[in-house]
Structure 1
Amino acid sequence: MAVRSRVKTLKIDGRDVSANEDETILEIARENNIFIPTLCQLDGLSVPGACRLCLVEIAGWKRLVPACATHVEEGMEVFTDTERLRDYRKMILELLFSEGNHVCAVCVSNGHCELQALAQRLGMDHVRYPNLQPVRMVDMTHERFVVDRNRCILCTRCVRVCDEIEGAHTWDVRGRGIDARVITDLATPWGDSTTCTSCGKCVNVCPVGALVEKGRPVGEMVKRREFLPYLFNMREVKSE
């Protein structure tokens, strides 16, 4: 007999909400149309808590916590849009822009980029940090797709969708800190991969212009993620 999750009551931005004990703050916020920004999180994939854009404040807690990885508790009082959080989120976005080469005007994902959209929504109108102007490898060896690591924000969506949904585990991350890079098959060229199925799932979950289809001109790379909730739900049904 299945055990039902117990219901918890809490406040988010002054609003009384209820949730099952196995739900996260982010899930409950979205159910109640409360906006919390994210980049690494994507429904249907595991939660890495990497981008830190979904940090929230909780009354009585000293530290900020990621809403995507923090489960609700009874009586919890959550704040999602304080001045402190707005400053943190702008800083994170500015660091992402300064650390990579995100020149929107010449990007194939211009107008369809989650990083660009969040910068606009959160009011990031300039970058306070020096641009590192990295020179990273662009891999065009695949017959259909391109990976431009200059635009990669290390959200690891490609790594997770390839492993958890496609089951190929072609993608991985090598290195640490500023030297971290997404790689295919132990750093071999993508076109030489023996595990890649050319399904395109990694391309379609990429939030920026790091993974794109060949032949797409500026502003025309639209990502299609409709497949992900469907495949995730089908796997959940089969496992029951």
Structure 2
Amino acid sequence: MSVITLKIDGVDVAIEEGATILQAAKELGVRIPTLCHLEGVTDVGACRLCLVEIEGLNKLLPSCVTQAAEGMVVNTHSDRLQEYRKMVVEMLFAEGNHVCAVCVANGNCELQDLAIEVGMDHSRFPYRFPEREMDVSHDRYGIDHNRCVLCTRCVRVCDEIEGAHVWDVAYRGAAAKVVTGLNQPWGAVEACTSCGKCVEACPTGAIFRKGSTVAEMTRDREKLEFLVNARENREWTR
């Protein structure tokens, strides 16, 4: 595999050809905020928090799905990008019903962490207060659509790691939401293996374990990484 060299925030970094800008930034130790990105599953560039500036281009590009190129000059933390990311987080809070004080993931939520990181103390956008339902028909888990940010991490984990494809996205625009089966109650979907990978993958308190109360939800991201590596390296125990 050939190696390419690019410049990120003024520092040269060498990485294998075919790697993304996000991967190159991680190699350099530069943090780029993400929400829909999850190690071990395909990137989709949904959240737009990882946008970066590339010299010679007028538009911003998502670093998680943009391949690094030889000689590329990338800026990851300009004032323009910082303001854009703050706006995106504010919009995520405004379009849902994210009440941290009563959320099972309070203190262990990636959206909450991002709000702190970008310096959000309020949303400049009017709150929509959409009417969204909960589904607790599953024996072990539940989903609160009020907290969902449509990152589709649950969809990709269930499809690419577990192979069950229980989750998908239905409807469009403001009505879009993740659904189980053919928009059936989660507990009625026979394809669900109750593995809990979707719970581990969810960045907020949208998908949770039953019995969890405020601020009790913790996750083990390394579990997903282990499963991916074990599958690729054929390290399954028999």
The two structures share one fold, judged by TM-score above 0.5: yes
Classify the secondary structure of the residue corresponding to 1:226.
Answer: helix
Equivalent residue in structure 1 for 2:217, among 218, 221, 228: 221
- Structure 2 residue runs without a partner (length 5+): none
Equivalent residue in structure 2 for 1:124, among 120, 123, 129: 120
The alpha-carbon deviation at position 226 of structure 1 amounts to 1.6
**Match of residue 189 from structure 1:** 185
The within-5 A match list for 1:9-24 is: 9-24=5-20
**Match of residue 231 from structure 1:** 227
The within-5 A match list for 1:82-231 is: 82-231=78-227
- Structure 1 residue runs without a partner (length 5+): none
The alpha-carbon deviation at position 55 of structure 1 amounts to 0.1
Deviations 1:121-160 (A, max 9, x none): 1111110001100111100111111100011000000001
RMSD: 1.1
Deviations 1:47-92 (A, max 9, x none): 1110000000001011100000111111111000001101110111
Letter of the structure 2 residue corresponding to residue 139 of structure 1: D
Give identity over the alignment, percent.
58
Paired residue total: 235
Aligned equivalents of 2:195 and 2:2: distance in 1?
Answer: 40
Classify the secondary structure of the residue corresponding to 1:172.
Answer: strand
**Match of residue 36 from structure 1:** 32
Deviations 1:196-238 (A, max 9, x none): 0001000111000100011111011011222211111122224
Classify the secondary structure of the residue corresponding to 1:159.
Answer: helix
Aligned equivalents of 1:103 and 1:137: distance in 2?
Answer: 15
Letter of the structure 2 residue corresponding to residue 153 of structure 1: V
Letter of the structure 1 residue corresponding to residue 221 of structure 2: R
Letter of the structure 1 residue corresponding to residue 109 of structure 2: C
Classify the secondary structure of the residue corresponding to 2:221.
Answer: coil
State the 4+ residue runs in structure 1 displaced beyond 2 angstroms: none
Aligned equivalents of 1:224 and 1:19: distance in 2?
Answer: 28
The within-5 A match list for 1:72-83 is: 72-83=68-79
Classify the secondary structure of the residue corresponding to 1:202.
Answer: helix
Aligned equivalents of 1:150 and 1:182: distance in 2?
Answer: 11
**Match of residue 60 from structure 2:** 64
Classify the secondary structure of the residue corresponding to 2:156.
Answer: helix
Aligned equivalents of 2:117 and 2:58: distance in 1?
Answer: 27
